[in-house]
């Protein structure tokens, strides 16, 4: 066992020294993650542009626009009335906020003022969210006006200058805004079932399966450089050699998964600490299953090219059948055929933990299948493995 | 009579219809350098692969240091070292890493493996390149590392399969000196080579193989005396007379 561990460590050392393998195995998942982050990373916050036509141009209109601009994720696009009408007609915009002329004057005079939304249909989903945010900001301004007016009315005749009342009330309102009586906190307890949650599990296990191609080459490479036969003249048993190679393959697959899951944890906040550990357990068992299949290919292949080709064909078949890039309808023919792909079980188990907020207990079936593949694959590969034709 | 460390009796090995080794028998005394010569395809390497437990013989018996290769292959592997004909190294690793790894495989702990590795690297004149990547070594340096690895674990029987192929005279001389030094320390060595002069200088006894069989076995001087004056004929003359001049490849 000790010598098998040295074989595994040696294999890992060789892997680290081989820049090509290292780039394929470690950097590619990071690049993929960066692409996923670029595509989906900023979408945890609602982001939109609010088209505004300011026909008033007064101080209260400016204040409304400034407060809208201060809302996280909201950008302001100032348009003229003509521009807004044209773009609304072309359906380039779904909703526009008009601040009519006289808005500031009306407010200054203590009279009701009005904002106008012009929209196509119901304004679309984004338009409705924008309208809701604008109503909220307008409501805040309205409440502050009411406070100002009521305080001014209450102090009427108390010989307090109007500008002093205005400044003091504004200071108090600002303080209240910073320290609201009712605060709302956000706690993320797991991912939502959006696009990335649906496909991340498949992408993660797909990478591990790709490393199967590298695993398939380990025996062939050892044979090619002559060290396989040399090792067989040492105290290392054939079983020890085999198990060492298997362990190094598991390690390689697991590290790849760890990188992808770790980045997801840090950046997308998909996990709680417990669900992250559960995902790592799934990743480890999946890596063992993939490594065992890699060892079967390693036992069959007689050349590096042969190992690579068998590995690629096998991997791509498993990836397609496993529903990595598209959702397979339950009960369909593809769903039935997909049961032969280990990707299916790895994806389901990781998906249960990532998107479904499940526990390891919910993935017992998938983990049992994957562990079974690992054990049976290792036994089969060892039985068909011949280090030397006519020999061990 | 000196103690026989390796005894081979009626060894056979066939690959399909081809008899690679056909009834080979010989014995090597403890502390002896024994030469196994023969043209390409004579069966030398197949014999060594069987003696080093890589290949299973079809029939015959081999006992090394009192252990049968059939019944106690693990015990045999714990007392042998093999320097294969082709380089068998991890070229992406340093010389030291290669030696420590094979030292571990030979049963040494980390500290012992490191100490032995440095000792053998010094013997081979490669201490200063211990941490150099093997892929950057010259052919001669790689050959010396190939031999040094076989010494890890201090084997009692060393198989050297053409260890001086394709290297310069300086490296070859270094290897000769190393081999003599090992013999002086009591190591038993089975040596194959195509260089007859090398076998003449190093080996106490020589067996010449052809077509899977040993066709003669004696000291170089006795073999030479079979065809003329030992001072005037060479071992190569004997070799060519016994194996013929026709090309084998």
Residue pairs spanning A and B at CB distance below 8 A: 74
Mutation to test the B interface, candidates A233, A240, A241, A386, most B Cβ within 10 Å: A233
Mean pLDDT confidence for A11-34: 77
3-state secondary structure of A98: strand
User: Which numeric CATH code is attached to B4-243?
Assistant: 3.40.50.300
Whole-angstrom distance, CA of residue A162 vs CA of residue A210:
74
3-state secondary structure of A97: strand
Mutation to test the A interface, candidates B88, B142, B145, B156, most A Cβ within 10 Å: B88
Residues whose CB is less than 8 angstroms from the CB of residue A329 and which lie 6 or more positions away in sequence, other chains included:
A335
Work out the pLDDT band at B158, boundaries 50, 70, 90: very high
Domain spans in chain B, listed from the N-terminal domain onward: 4-243
Contacts of A235 in chain B (CB under 8 A): 74, 77-78, 105-107
The strand pairing partners of A54, in sequence order, are A99
Q: What is the DSSP string of A104-167?
A: HHHHHTT-----EEEESTT-HHHHHHHHHHHHHHHHHHHHHHHHHHHHHHHTTTS---HHHHHH
Interface of B with A in 129-168 (CB under 8 A): 149, 153
Mean pLDDT confidence for B241-249: 69
Whole-angstrom distance, CA of residue A222 vs CA of residue A32:
31
Alpha-carbon gap: A264 to the closest alpha carbon of chain B (Å) = 33
pLDDT, position B247: 62
pLDDT, position A45: 61
Contacts of A226 in chain B (CB under 8 A): 84, 86-89
- Put simply, whether B101 touches A (Cβ < 8 Å) is yes
Whole-angstrom distance, CA of residue A49 vs CA of residue A130:
8
Closest Cβ–Cβ partner in A14, A231, A391 for B105: A231
The pair of structure tokens assigned to A139 is 């409501």
pLDDT top residue among B100 and A10: B100
Contacts of A225 in chain B (CB under 8 A): 88-91
Domain spans in chain A, listed from the N-terminal domain onward: 2-42+194-384, 47-178
3-state secondary structure of A71: coil
CB contact under 8 A, B102 and A230: yes
Shortest CA distance from B84: residue in chain A:
A230
Alpha-carbon gap: A27 to the closest alpha carbon of chain B (Å) = 20
pLDDT, position A80: 93
- Above 70 in pLDDT, residue A198? no
The per-residue pLDDT for range B42-65, each reduced to its tens digit, is 899 999 999 999 899 999 999 999
- Above 90 in pLDDT, residue A249? no
pLDDT, position B64: 94
CB contact under 8 A, B107 and A235: yes
Mean pLDDT confidence for B78-91: 91
- Above 80 in pLDDT, residue A22? no
The per-residue pLDDT for range A325-380, each reduced to its tens digit, is 777 777 788 788 888 888 888 888 888 887 766 788 888 999 999 999 999 998 89
Shortest CA distance from B110: residue in chain A:
A6
| CATH class label, A47-178 | alpha beta
């Amino acid at each position: 066992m000790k010598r098998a561990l040295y074989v595994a460590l040696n294999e890992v050392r060789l892997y680290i020294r081989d820049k090509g393998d290292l780039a394929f195995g470690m950097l590619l998942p990071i690049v993929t993650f960066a692409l996923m982050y670029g595509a989906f990373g900023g979408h945890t916050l609602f982001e939109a542009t609010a088209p505004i036509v300011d026909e008033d141009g007064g101080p209260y209109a400016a204040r409304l626009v400034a407060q809208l601009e201060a809302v996280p994720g909201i950008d302001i696009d100032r348009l003229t009335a003509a521009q807004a009408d044209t773009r609304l007609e072309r359906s380039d915009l779904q909703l526009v906020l008009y601040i009519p002329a006289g808005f500031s004057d009306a407010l200054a005079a203590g009279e009701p003022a009005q904002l106008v939304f012009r929209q196509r249909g119901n304004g679309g989903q984004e338009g409705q969210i924008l309208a809701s945010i604008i109503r909220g900001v307008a409501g805040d301004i309205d409440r502050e006006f009411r406070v100002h007016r009521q305080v001014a009315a209450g102090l009427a005749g108390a010989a307090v200058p109007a500008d002093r009342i205005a400044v003091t009330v504004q200071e108090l309102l600002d303080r209240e805004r910073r320290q609201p009586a009712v605060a709302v906190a956000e706690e993320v307890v797991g991912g939502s079932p959006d696009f990335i949650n649906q496909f991340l599990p498949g992408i993660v296990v797909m990478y591990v399966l790709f490393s199967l191609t590298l695993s398939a080459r380990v025996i062939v490479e050892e044979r090619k450089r002559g060290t396989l036969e040399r090792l067989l003249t040492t105290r290392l048993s054939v079983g020890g050699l085999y198990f060492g190679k298997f362990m190094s393959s598991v390690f390689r697959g697991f590290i790849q998964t760890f990188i992808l899951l770790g980045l997801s944890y840090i950046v997308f906040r998909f996990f709680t600490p417990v669900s992250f550990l559960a995902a790592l357990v799934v990743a480890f068992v999946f890596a063992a299953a993939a490594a065992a299949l890699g060892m079967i290919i390693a036992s069959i292949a007689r050349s590096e090219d042969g190992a690579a080709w068998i590995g690629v064909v096998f991997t791509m078949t498993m990836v397609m059948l496993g529903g990595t890039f598209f959702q397979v309808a339950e009960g369909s023919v593809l769903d039935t055929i997909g049961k032969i792909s280990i990707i299916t079980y790895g994806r389901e188990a990781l998906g249960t933990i990532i998107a479904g907020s499940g526990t390891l207990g919910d993935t017992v079936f998938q983990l049992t299948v994957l562990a079974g593949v690992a054990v049976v694959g290792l036994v089969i590969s060892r039985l068909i493995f011949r280090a030397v034709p006519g020999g061990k | 009579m000196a103690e026989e460390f390796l005894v081979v009796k009626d060894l056979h090995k066939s690959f399909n219809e081809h008899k690679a080794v056909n009834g080979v028998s010989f014995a090597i005394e403890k502390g002896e350098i024994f030469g196994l010569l023969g043209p390409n395809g004579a069966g030398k390497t197949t014999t060594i692969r069987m003696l080093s437990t890589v290949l299973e013989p079809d029939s015959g018996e081999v006992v090394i240091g009192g252990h049968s290769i059939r019944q106690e292959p693990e015990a045999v592997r714990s007392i042998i070292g093999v320097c294969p004909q082709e380089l068998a190294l991890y070229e992406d690793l340093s010389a030291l890493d290669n030696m420590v790894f094979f030292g571990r495989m030979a049963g040494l702990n980390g500290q012992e493996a490191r100490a032995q590795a440095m000792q053998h690297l010094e013997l081979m004149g490669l201490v200063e390149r211990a941490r150099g990547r093997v892929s950057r070594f010259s052919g001669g340096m790689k050959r010396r590392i190939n031999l040094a690895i076989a010494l890890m674990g201090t084997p009692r029987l060393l198989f050297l399969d053409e260890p001086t192929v394709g290297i310069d005279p300086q490296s070859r001389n270094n290897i000769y000196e190393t081999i003599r030094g090992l013999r002086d320390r009591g190591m038993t060595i089975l040596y194959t080579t195509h260089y007859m002069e090398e076998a003449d200088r190093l080996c106490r006894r020589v067996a010449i193989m052809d077509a899977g069989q040993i066709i003669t076995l004696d000291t170089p001087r006795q073999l030479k005396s079979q065809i003329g004056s030992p001072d005037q004929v060479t071992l190569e003359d004997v070799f060519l007379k016994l194996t013929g001049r026709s090309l084998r490849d």
